């Protein structure tokens, strides 16, 4: 029946509420409920380095500039960028910082296009960087546009949007750089042969990264530094689930293995979605096991995919880093989505590579907003890559071994089941590997709420940890969650190979 329009509307507001809920949880991240908090622990890294070469200036406008640049990590860069701006108005300075960042990104893209390598792994990483820096540029342009639209009085939602978009740009940088970390790990000889090229790129990217970090700091600390008004009633999520469940979705296209739909594969259906269309596109994937790798690209917005249930509609593949060491981890995903406002429900995503095959992602999202409802994610190492943006996982089932919920995203896992499984004999399990980032002002972190953590099968022998932090500001909160006796040691935390120290926990056992 014509439930179409009202449904569209209620879903939209549902999604919007979800983001608010995601936000609330990021506020809760700092609240008393914390079971595990992994935080700013780096010492002697760039996070701690403050410029010492600040010049002594006396006049009023310079003092004001100083008070603004004081909140940034790269204050020398801040001075040199903003010194020439004929204003001390924070709004004007912030905008000027963004405009400089945009110009810098155009230059980086030009530089990238000239870099050539004959090595497959390096080539592939350069391609990833090109895409990521291009995406960061889009995010910066979008930030300027939105900022200009918002005018002088910004609501906390506006503030979050700008912070989210700038966070997104920083994650793009980290994703690009992680590509070279992967080359180093999986193809060391190529890494060595290309060390000069990689160094020159990193050097070239430095200023852009500093400008984005500074812009985010100025925005967060100066322009966005108001106390947030949070409507507590939004914490009650039951109404939003109801509105989603009661929605009878009308598919634009149907995928059916048996030929009774418009397409027989999900990839063909995704290819048929118009680009840059703001209207919703609904794909119904009928019962069946689909052996394919699906990618919903950035320019395909508002896509809704629904199946017939996690036991019935299954997308499965087995791409992994051992067999394909030249690709980035996110490129191993069985299902990957980058287009914003994505919703998926009642489906299962599997990566069958197995525990001996290294990183092998079942589901990856770096969509600016995505909702996964009643879905299952089944894999081993790196099952679920919550890469970037705001993500809500509701009533989902997640199974894996090492780092099986990981990434930079601001993600909430609500009413989920999280099930570590037996890896290879010498391996261990880490349920989360949140990336956080190296900057304090990013919106990033996982909240696991009202969920259950228990073994996938009886024979789970491996040491299992709640998580390991991947960066200085990695943050995971586990609250109102039942954890069965499977977490190793009193704290359930495992250090990484990186320079991250052991966290202080509010509760030493549970």
CB-based contacts of 462: which residues, under 8 Å, 6+ apart?
A: 401, 420, 422, 423, 427, 428, 429
Residues shown for the chain: 510
Q: Is residue 403 flagged as an active site residue?
A: yes
Contact positions with ligand NAG (CB under 6 A) in 67-126: 67, 70, 86
Residue closer to ligand NAG by CB (options 52, 189) is: 52
Select from 61, 260, 277, 510 the one that contacts ligand NAG (CB under 6 A): 277
Q: Is 427 in the site for ligand NAG (CB under 6 A)?
A: no
Q: Is 62 in the site for ligand NAG (CB under 6 A)?
A: no
Handedness of CA 476, 467, 368, 132 (dihedral sign): positive
Which of 378, 403, 459, 488 is labelled catalytic?
403
Select from 110, 225, 274, 356 the one that contacts ligand NAG (CB under 6 A): 274
| Site size for ligand NAG (CB under 6 A) | 15
Question: Candidates 93-101, 116-124, 183-191, 275-283 — which segment interacts with ligand NAG by CB under 6 A?
Answer: 275-283
Q: Is 482 in the site for ligand NAG (CB under 6 A)?
A: no
Residue closer to ligand NAG by CB (options 89, 181) is: 89
Residue closer to ligand NAG by CB (options 136, 294) is: 294
Question: Candidates 60-68, 146-154, 286-294, 363-371 — which segment interacts with ligand NAG by CB under 6 A?
Answer: 60-68
Contact positions with ligand NAG (CB under 6 A) in 380-409: 395
DSSP track, 200-257 = HHHHHHHHHHHHHHHHHHHIIIIIS-SPP---GGGG--HHHHHHHHT-----SEEE-T
Contact 313, 175 (CB under 8 A): no
CB neighbours of residue 480 within 10 Å: 11
Residue closer to ligand NAG by CB (options 250, 264) is: 250
Contact positions with ligand NAG (CB under 6 A) in 441-460: 450
- 123 class by beta-carbon count within 10 Å (0-12 exposed, 13-18 middle, 19+ buried): middle
- 274 class by beta-carbon count within 10 Å (0-12 exposed, 13-18 middle, 19+ buried): exposed
Alpha helices in 295-381 (DSSP H): none
Per-residue burial over 48-74, b if 16 or more Cβ lie within 10 Å, else e, is: eeeeeeeeeeeeeeeeebbebbebbbb
Residue closer to ligand NAG by CB (options 201, 396) is: 396
CB-based contacts of 216: which residues, under 8 Å, 6+ apart?
A: 163, 166, 167, 170, 439, 441, 442
Give least dist CB 415 to ligand NAG, A. 4
CB neighbours of residue 379 within 10 Å: 32
Structure tokens at 80: 């040199």
Give least dist CB 201 to ligand NAG, A. 33
Q: Is 262 in the site for ligand NAG (CB under 6 A)?
A: no
Select from 66, 138, 158, 268 the one that contacts ligand NAG (CB under 6 A): 66
Instruction: Tell me the backbone φ, ψ of residue 468, rounded to 5 degrees.
Output: -140, 135
Q: At 25, which helix (H) or strand (E)?
A: helix 4-28
Question: Candidates 99-107, 204-212, 279-287, 487-495 — which segment interacts with ligand NAG by CB under 6 A?
Answer: 279-287
Q: Is 279 in the site for ligand NAG (CB under 6 A)?
A: yes
Give least dist CB 355 to ligand NAG, A. 28
Select from 252, 293, 318, 429 the one that contacts ligand NAG (CB under 6 A): 252
Q: Is 250 in the site for ligand NAG (CB under 6 A)?
A: yes
Q: Is 63 in the site for ligand NAG (CB under 6 A)?
A: yes
CB-based contacts of 273: which residues, under 8 Å, 6+ apart?
A: 281, 283, 296, 300, 303
Alpha helices in 387-434 (DSSP H): none
Look up residue 179 and give its DSSP letter.
H
What does the binding site for ligand NAG look like in residue numbers (CB under 6 A)? 63, 66-67, 70, 86, 250, 252, 274, 277, 279-281, 395, 415, 450
Catalytic residues: 403
């Amino acid at each position: 029946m014509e439930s179409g329009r009202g449904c569209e509307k209620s879903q939209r507001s549902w999604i919007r509420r979800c983001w608010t809920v995601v936000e609330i949880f990021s506020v809760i991240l700092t609240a008393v409920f914390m079971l595990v908090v992994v935080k700013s622990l780096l010492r002697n890294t760039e996070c701690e380095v403050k410029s010492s070469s600040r010049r002594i200036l006396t006049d009023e406008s310079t003092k004001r500039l100083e008070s603004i640049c004081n909140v940034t990590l790269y204050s020398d860069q801040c001075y040199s960028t903003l010194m020439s701006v004929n204003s001390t108005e924070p709004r004007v300075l912030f905008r000027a910082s963004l405009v400089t960042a945009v110009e810098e990104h155009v230059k980086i893209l030009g530089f990238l296009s000239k870099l050539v390598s004959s090595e497959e792994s390096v080539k592939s990483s350069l391609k990833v960087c090109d895409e990521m820096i291009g995406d960061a540029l889009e995010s910066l342009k979008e930030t300027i546009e939105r900022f200009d639209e918002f005018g002088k009085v910004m609501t906390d939602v506006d503030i979050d949007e700008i912070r989210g978009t700038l966070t997104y740009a920083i994650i793009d940088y980290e994703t690009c750089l992680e590509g070279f970390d992967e080359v180093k790990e999986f193809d060391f000889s190529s890494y060595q042969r290309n060390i000069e090229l990689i160094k020159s790129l990193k050097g070239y990217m430095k200023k852009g990264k500093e400008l984005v970090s500074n812009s985010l700091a100025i925005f967060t600390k100066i322009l966005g530094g108001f106390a947030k008004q949070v409507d507590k009633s939004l914490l009650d999520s039951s109404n939003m689930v109801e509105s989603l469940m009661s929605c009878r979705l009308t598919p634009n296209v149907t995928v059916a293995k048996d030929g009774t739909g418009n397409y027989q594969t999900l990839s063909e259906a995704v290819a048929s979605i118009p680009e840059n269309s703001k209207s919703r596109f609904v794909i119904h994937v009928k019962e069946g096991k689909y052996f394919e790798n699906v990618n919903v690209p950035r320019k395909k917005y508002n896509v809704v995919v629904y199946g017939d249930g996690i036991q019935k509609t299954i997308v499965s593949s087995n791409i992994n880093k051992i067999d394909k060491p030249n690709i980035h981890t996110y490129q191993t995903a069985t299902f990957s989505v980058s287009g914003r406002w994505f919703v998926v429900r009642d489906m299962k995503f599997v990566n069958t590579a197995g525990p001996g095959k290294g990183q092998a992602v079942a589901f990856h999202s770096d969509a600016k907003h995505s909702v996964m409802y009643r879905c299952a994610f089944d894999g081993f190492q790196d099952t679920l890559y919550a890469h970037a943006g705001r993500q809500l996982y509701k009533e989902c089932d997640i199974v894996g071994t090492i780092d099986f919920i990981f990434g930079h995203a601001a993600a909430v896992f609500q009413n989920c089941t999280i099930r570590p499984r037996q890896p290879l004999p010498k391996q261990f399990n880490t349920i989360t590997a949140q990336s956080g980032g190296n900057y304090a002002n990013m919106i990033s972190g996982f909240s696991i709420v009202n969920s259950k953590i228990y073994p996938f099968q009886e024979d789970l022998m491996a040491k299992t940890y709640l998580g390991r932090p991947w960066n200085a500001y990695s943050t995971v909160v586990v609250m109102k969650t039942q954890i069965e006796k499977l977490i190793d040691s009193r704290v359930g935390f495992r250090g990484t190979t990186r320079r991250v120290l052991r966290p202080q926990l509010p509760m030493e056992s549970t």
